Structure formats: structure tokens, C-alpha cells
């Protein structure tokens, strides 16, 4: 049974955040040495692509923890 409510899983809750997330992804890829480029990146290995996403999540969690603790870190 499909749970298709017509929503696009690639859409952002805040459309204005799309460009910021693209910049964030480029920044993280650069920091960890993954050659991410504009457009098609199908030549990246699964490990490279996963490392970008993993590092993004790690940074977002750290930022949220700082905010929740009052920014004392």
C-alpha cells in the first residue's frame, strides 16, 4: 500500500532555505575534500556522497545543541 499524499519529498518546508542548503552542502564537501560540483554528481562514490550528508547532519546537530544550551559552547 502506497502512502502517496501528493507531497514531494524533495521539497523544502521553507523554499527560501534551498539556496542556503546548497551553499552549506558545497561548504561541507569542500571541507572534507569531496569534489562536489554544480549539476550532476553521479560520479561520486556512495561513501563520498554519504560523507557529505553525514557531516551536514553532524554540524546541524552541533548547532542545535549550542542553541539549546544557550550558546555556551
pTM, two decimals, is: 0.73
| Torsion sign over Cα 23, 25, 27, 29 | negative
* Residue 36 confidence (pLDDT): 95
Residue-wise pLDDT for 34-57, tens only, equals: 999 999 999 999 999 999 999 999
Reported for 30-35, long-range contacts at CB under 8 A and 24+ positions apart, including other chains, are: 31/55
CB atoms within 10 A of CB 25: 16
Q: Where exactly are the structural domains of the chain?
A: 14-33+46-73
Residue-wise pLDDT for 4-21, tens only, equals: 555 556 677 888 899 999
In this predicted model, which residue has the larger pLDDT, 32 or 5?
32
Amino acid at each position: 500500500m502506497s502512502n502517496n499524499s501528493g507531497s514531494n519529498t524533495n521539497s523544502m518546508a521553507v523554499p527560501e532555505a534551498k539556496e542556503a542548503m546548497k551553499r552549506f552542502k558545497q561548504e561541507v564537501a569542500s571541507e572534507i575534500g569531496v569534489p562536489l560540483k554544480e549539476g550532476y554528481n553521479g560520479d561520486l562514490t556512495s561513501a563520498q556522497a554519504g560523507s557529505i550528508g553525514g557531516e551536514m547532519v553532524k554540524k546541524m546537530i552541533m548547532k542545535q545543541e549550542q542553541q539549546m544550551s544557550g550558546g555556551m559552547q
